Structure 1
């Protein structure tokens, strides 16, 4: 298969391959590449795809990919690069009379305009005779100088590697600006960053005809991004005030509805409901193509479930205030008790194992303590296959984007008994207590 140069945005580097592989599944485009050739220190990856048309299709909704180019050559110097390019003169003959442009970029060093012009002129041996056209040319050529990442105050004088090719497709990084939370009419203290929300929609394979559910919907970030890609979505939360925009941190009116109107997505969001996911009303059996969520882990909002300190679960209250049944008031919030993080995740996997269709995906965030993390901490389930585990570090702690795929049916009874049991406490257990104690040792009695 022909080779193509993938130019990543070099943001969230640990997420790039996971998104690329998800796009391969989503678009039905087979790719081949050497995983060991990808480095977090470089935004370039060489992959094999059957054709330029399929390469363009592969990246058209990518968030972490800037462009993909048909591979024409590479080298540690321009002499090496030119020698390889000249081996296949048939490649450039068809572009002799076309309008064209060159894009010259550097990684690890900013190139001056004078340097870019010199690079472009060095390719004069190609003999292109068509007009230069900076907007919408017939052909665009990509030159990339990779100087590498460095902690030194001054960049390297010469590039470590140079890549050259013809651009055949671009990602959808413009969507990061479109869904920028600063532009959103309604948001809260748990609203997810737009870029990562979009990446999660790709990881979940959200597409026209699929049904996506967020059991901790909050202010609805994932409803927006998944629905934008054509999926039908729905969400629930134990706190209806966040959904309605009456929790005291709103910006705008009408809560989630304001954002749906802003992005003209109301027709794809089926509903938002209020209940405790531990006591959900859904029928038994599979029904969702994807579950995409950010479980509350206590940094900005603590997880809660229905209950009282005495251990009972509150039922519907018929107390009447100002002529309105208490549980029907917009500002009503039922009695709740803390919901420990490891219990949240265990319940989430059990729920996904039952409610996802086979082939459906669970995409969720898992917080971990950096010094305590062990790969064995990732909860497993026999009905779910781990697809990706990408880390976003914050120093003493990280959050990991976990993607799992349902591979087999499981009965609703006792599904949690199949969860793996780590030999030690997972790094996300009692995470809220660890976070607010600045990750000092927390005794079992302290976490109650």
Structure 2
């Protein structure tokens, strides 16, 4: 199959391959690459795809894939690169009369205009006779120099570790990160998920037209926006309706989630937002959702809660009639709740997903873990799921990870790194006492 150069954004490196694989599944594009050649310290990866059309499909909604380039050659020096390019002169002839443009970029070093011009002129052997067009050329070529992540931006004498050259096929959709930036959003809260990772998770969930996506801890609705942007019908629920309505003292907005739906013209894609405890949900049993995408509350900014009282008794106050209205029917009523331990949240989430996801559906969720104690065996398990991806976003003493489904493996003998996470966070991750 033809070879292509994927140029990743140099952000969230642990999520890049997961998004690439998810997009390949979503678009029905068969890809092949050598995993040993992938380096989180470099934004370049060579893959094989059957055609330019399929390569373009692969990146058209990508967030962490900047562009895909038809591979013409590579080398540790320009002489090596030119030698490989010259092996396929028949490729040049197709563009001999086309208008064209060269893009020269350096990873790990900013190239001056003079350096870029010098690089472009060194490709004069291609003999293109077409007109140079900077805005709308018939074809665009990319020269990509990789100096490594540790290179010094101002080191003029730096030598690239690798140089890539090829024809640009298509670019990703990184402009969406700016479009859905939290700073531009009318309504948000202190737990709103940032736009970039929300969009990546929508891709990992295979959000698409005709799919029904659900967030059982919807909060301020970040995932509703990104999944619906890609055409999915979405819906969400939360135990605290004040977040949905926008009356919980958040920084902006009085219309809650609906303000954002109007802002982004997505109201017709969001089926509804509901208020209930996921542990006592009203859903009819049976598969109904194509994906569940969520960020369960883990207590750093907002503690997880479920309905109940600490003494386990029924809250009779809820049914007290005041001025002819039962207490629980009042607009400002908030039912009694008890803390919801992180390990229990995840167990209940997996059980819920097992009952409500269609076959082949995806569960994509965040799991906080104590960094020094994390073990891959800590990944929650369920017999009906298999693990698709496990990506980490580090925060120093702790991390959070996105998981896409899980496969059944032996349960860990030690306490998993997400056990009692809220207590561990506020104790600055002191070691747990043995029992």
Question: Do the aligned partners of 1:306 and 1:313 also contact (CA within 8 Å) in 2?
Answer: no
Question: Do the aligned partners of 2:109 and 2:151 also contact (CA within 8 Å) in 1?
Answer: no
Secondary structure of residue in 2 paired with 1:432: helix
Q: 1:135: how far off?
A: 1.2
Check if 1:265 corresponds to 2:262. Answer: no
Check if 1:67 corresponds to 2:67. Answer: yes
Check if 1:336 corresponds to 2:333. Answer: no
Out of 410, 435, 438, the residue aligned to residue 428 of structure 2 is 438
Q: Distance in 2 between matches of 1:315 and 1:441?
A: 41
Deviations 1:31-76 (A, max 9, x none): 0001111000100000000001110011100000110010000000
Structure 1 residues 125, 347: closer, same or farther in 2, change over 3 A? same
- 2:346 is aligned to 345
Question: Do the aligned partners of 2:108 and 2:151 also contact (CA within 8 Å) in 1?
Answer: no
Secondary structure of residue in 2 paired with 1:386: coil
- 1:253 is aligned to 254
Relative to the length of structure 2, the TM-score reads 0.96
Question: Do the aligned partners of 1:99 and 1:130 also contact (CA within 8 Å) in 2?
Answer: yes
Q: Distance in 2 between matches of 1:67 and 1:439?
A: 40
Q: Distance in 2 between matches of 1:82 and 1:313?
A: 78
Q: Which runs of 5+ in 1 are unaligned?
A: 408-417
Q: 1:277: how far off?
A: 0.3
Q: Which runs of 5+ in 2 are unaligned?
A: none
Question: Do the aligned partners of 1:291 and 1:362 also contact (CA within 8 Å) in 2?
Answer: yes
Equivalent residue pairs, number: 434
- CA root-mean-square deviation: 1.7
Q: Distance in 2 between matches of 1:75 and 1:313?
A: 72
- 1:410 is aligned to none
Q: Distance in 1 between matches of 2:298 and 2:161?
A: 43
- 1:49 is aligned to 49
- 1:286 is aligned to 287
Deviations 1:283-325 (A, max 9, x none): 1111100000000001111100001010235478233557654
Structure 1 residues 393, 369: closer, same or farther in 2, change over 3 A? same
Structure 1 residues 142, 85: closer, same or farther in 2, change over 3 A? same
Q: 1:96: how far off?
A: 1.1
- 1:413 is aligned to none
Q: Distance in 2 between matches of 1:248 and 1:322?
A: 28
Relative to the length of structure 1, the TM-score reads 0.94
Structure 1 residues 238, 92: closer, same or farther in 2, change over 3 A? same
Q: Distance in 2 between matches of 1:316 and 1:136?
A: 69
Q: 1:419: how far off?
A: 8.3
- 1:274 is aligned to 275
- 2:307 is aligned to 306
Q: 1:443: how far off?
A: 4.1
- 2:370 is aligned to 369
Check if 1:423 corresponds to 2:424. Answer: no
- 1:215 is aligned to 216
Q: Distance in 1 between matches of 2:417 and 2:16?
A: 24
Question: Do the aligned partners of 1:246 and 1:331 also contact (CA within 8 Å) in 2?
Answer: no
Q: 1:129: how far off?
A: 1.2
